[in-house]
A and B are shown apart, each in its own frame.
Chain A
């Protein structure tokens, strides 16, 4: 019996006294739910709990919505829980999660105030309302919500319900964090190179995407590079981290590191999304509690000037910066500029994969190291 086959098909329409707004919990057709494509963001959801379809309420971040694709736009595919990117057609029914998005190269979006037509704002399965978009981003794929998935009592199913349980503090793994100047500065490539290099050094590696928008791409990249376990904030019950308060961002990041450390990882590679000027990224990296968890920090820069600004920003916060990486390393001239300007090692994919990853992740990061670097 599949999970979807257990969904009730007989529930009568009733009023749902949700605290945030009154709504109506109606019948959820089990076959309809079974046939709907379920996005990556919903991969931890136990759909046997979905018994009703809730309408007339205001969605909140993380709520699961059954929606119909009205017009295919920027996102032509939906990443499924398996990681397969399924082509979308008008009329498809999908299950995605509401969430906000902060993506300078794509969409700035929030959670809409109602279940009216809205946008598919991320291929990993996020429903939202586009506020602004990059000039090169097309119109978002338009979706029409049918209602929120709810349990037998009419309570909406939210990703928070399916968050993984954080273990008690596991044996402390070495934590190597990756941040960058912006979206598309080479953070994911840096993280994958670190994972690969550490694995080739014989170490057990886990990968974490601590912040960002729910999508499997970064996780699959680290898994392909050899990470034994990969996790992101969706495992902590968030479809995205845009707009979350700093204390929750910190809880998510530390919880993911604890989860990733389970099973005996030697090193956890943590990617922090977006650039240093993004609000949640800045808050996390400015947190002393987070700084205390990380042993080494890699900064992925788009070009030398960004590298300099980033290094200055990170040094002000006494973070254990060990290297500049990212797109700037594609250019020998750019690498040389960045090294001269920052005094920090500038390392590319080849160096990280061929011996430097372990050295840098495990290097001393105190004042003596800074003195040695000049």
Chain B
């Protein structure tokens, strides 16, 4: 069946209080879902949530909307369709060279323009494959990032100048200047289900990877956090109880949205920022 459709472009301002889909032309096209709280103020924070291979950006925006409304935080979630962006998890698709980082920078600019949110530095949160993207994006563009949250990444790029990209930073596709060490100065938070220990089909597996990072997402998260701390980075690790790799229910049972947004902005009632412990169970 043939689709007869022209792209729907963004309007001048994003109306508040609704989850919306917007897009812009580009190569590939830029697509995202956004929620602009009615409570948002000009220059307020922007949280970008990046989906995993489930390709469910709208779901994350819906799950974040209430908590975002209580804090006046604009939430945007890019859509990185596999057909257009390939292995966006690695930021630059190794086959096509398509750069998801440039797409996200475009999206941030447009969302900030249409919502009056702060686009100088955004808060970045990624889930699973989106967490892979998020930490690699922050390594490449630390100047664009205010904080980074990573949930259940399958594997990581370690802050290791000797290890080849994408396991480490050597031979980065953008060259040695492609990685700014300022990423080590960002506040990082890592989340993983304490039962996320299955070696499921979506988990990348190899002897080398298992040896370097661990056999499952829990082990790999701990190994990466240790490596980042060894380089002096401020990284917290939060284990989500009774949770495997599926984080959807954690949004309901564990108020994951609040956990993600607490450090981004306080509730508008005046609730203070909550301190994030170095390793904790939520």
Contact surface of A with B, Cβ cutoff 8 Å: 172, 174, 201-204, 266, 295, 323, 329-330, 332, 335-336, 338-339, 345-351, 355-356, 358-360, 362-364, 366-369, 372-374
Q: How far is the CB of B59 from chain A (nearest CB, A)?
A: 3
Contact A201 B58 (CB under 8 A): yes
A323 to chain B, nearest CB (A): 8
Q: In the assembly, what is the distance between CA of A330 and CA of B2, in Å?
A: 10
Looking at the assembled complex, report how far the CB atom of B45 sits from the nearest CB atom of chain A, in whole angstroms: 22
Chain B residues near A295: list those with CB within 8 A. Answer: 18
Q: Give every chain A residue within 8 A of B18 (Cβ-Cβ).
A: 174, 295, 362
Q: Which of B11, B15, B21 contacts A359 (CB 8 A)?
A: B21
Q: Is B56 an interface residue (CB 8 A)?
A: yes
> Hey, which chain B residues are within 8 Å of A346, CB to CB?
3-5
Known contacts: A203-B58, A363-B20. The answer to whether A372 contacts B248 by CB under 8 A is no
CB-based closest 8 A-B pairs: A202-B59, A339-B4, A368-B11, A345-B5, A202-B56, A348-B1, A362-B21, A372-B9
Shortest C-beta distance, A66 to chain B (Å), equals 46
Q: A345-B6, A362-B20, A369-B9 are in contact. List 18 more A-B contacts (CB 8 A).
A: A202-B58, A202-B59, A202-B248, A203-B59, A266-B62, A335-B1, A335-B4, A345-B4, A347-B4, A362-B18, A362-B33, A363-B22, A364-B22, A366-B11, A368-B10, A369-B11, A373-B8, A374-B6
User: Mask for B121-138, Cβ within 8 A of A = 1, else 0?
Assistant: 000000000000000000
Nearest B residue (CB) for A339 = B4
Could you tell me the distance in whole angstroms from the C-beta of A320 to the nearest C-beta in chain B?
A: 12
Residues on the A chain within 8 Å of B21, using CB: 358-360, 362-364
**B4: nearest chain-A partner, CB-CB:** A339
Q: Are A349 and B1 in contact (CB-based, < 8 A)?
A: yes
A266 proximity list for chain B (CB < 8 A): 19, 62
- Tell me, yes or no, whether B54 is within 8 Å of chain A by CB: yes
A369→B248 CA distance, assembly (Å)? 32
Known: A346-B5, A368-B10, A368-B12. A201 touches B20 (CB 8 A): no
Contact call B8/A203, Cβ cutoff below 8 A: no
Do B58 and A358 touch across chains, with their CB atoms under 8 A apart? Answer: yes
Question: A368 contacts which of B2, B9, B19, B54 (Cβ < 8 Å)?
Answer: B9
A356 CA / B81 CA spacing, docked (Å): 12
* Interface check B7, CB cutoff 8 A: yes
What's the minimum C-beta distance from A173 to chain B, rounded to whole angstroms? 10
Q: B11 is contacted by which of A203, A336, A351, A364 (Cβ under 8 Å)?
A: A364
Cβ of A272 to closest chain B Cβ, rounded Å: 22
How many Å from the CB of A255 to the closest CB on chain B? 22
What is the bound-complex CA distance between A269 and B18, given in angstroms?
16
* Interchain pairs with CB closer than 8 A, number: 95
Complex CA–CA separation, A17 to B15 (angstroms): 57
A-B contact pairs, 30 of them (CB 8 A): A174-B18, A201-B56, A201-B59, A202-B56, A202-B59, A202-B60, A203-B58, A204-B62, A323-B5, A335-B2, A336-B4, A345-B4, A345-B5, A346-B3, A347-B4, A358-B21, A358-B33, A359-B31, A360-B21, A362-B20, A362-B21, A363-B8, A363-B20, A364-B10, A364-B21, A366-B15, A369-B9, A369-B11, A373-B6, A373-B8
Which A-chain residue is minimally distant from B62 (CB atoms)? A266
Q: Which residues of B contact A345 (CB under 8 A)?
A: 3-6
B2 pairs with A372, CB closer than 8 A: no
Contacts of B81 in A (CB 8 A): 355
A101 to B17, CA, bound (A): 40
Which B residues lie within 8 Å of A172 (CB)? 17
Q: Indicate if the CB atoms of A369 and B8 lie closer than 8 Å.
A: yes
Contact flag A336-B59 (CB < 8 Å), given A174-B19, A366-B11: no
Q: Is the CB of A350 within 8 A of B1?
A: yes
Q: Which residues of A contact B7 (CB under 8 A)?
A: 372
Q: Interface code B6-39, partner A: CB below 8 Å = 1, 0 otherwise? A: 1111111001011111110000000101000000
A203 to B8, CA, bound (A): 21
A203 to B81: give the CA distance in the assembly, Å. 18
- A336 near B8 with CB under 8 A, answer no
Contacts of A372 in B (CB 8 A): 6-9
**Nearest Cβ distance between residue B171 and chain A, in whole angstroms?**
35
A236 CA to B102 CA in the complex, in Å? Answer: 51
CA of A367 to CA of B22 in the docked complex: distance in angstroms? 14
CB nearest to A338 among chain B residues: B4
**List of B residues within 8 angstroms of A323 by Cβ:** 5
CB <8 Å contact, A202 and B54: yes
Minimum C-beta distance from B96 to chain A (A):
20
Chain A residue with Cβ nearest B3:
A351
Q: Of residues A339, A369, A372, which shows the largest number of chain B Cβ atoms within 10 Å of its Cβ?
A: A372
Which residues of B in the span 32-62 have a Cβ within 8 Å of any Cβ on A?
Answer: 33, 54-56, 58-60, 62
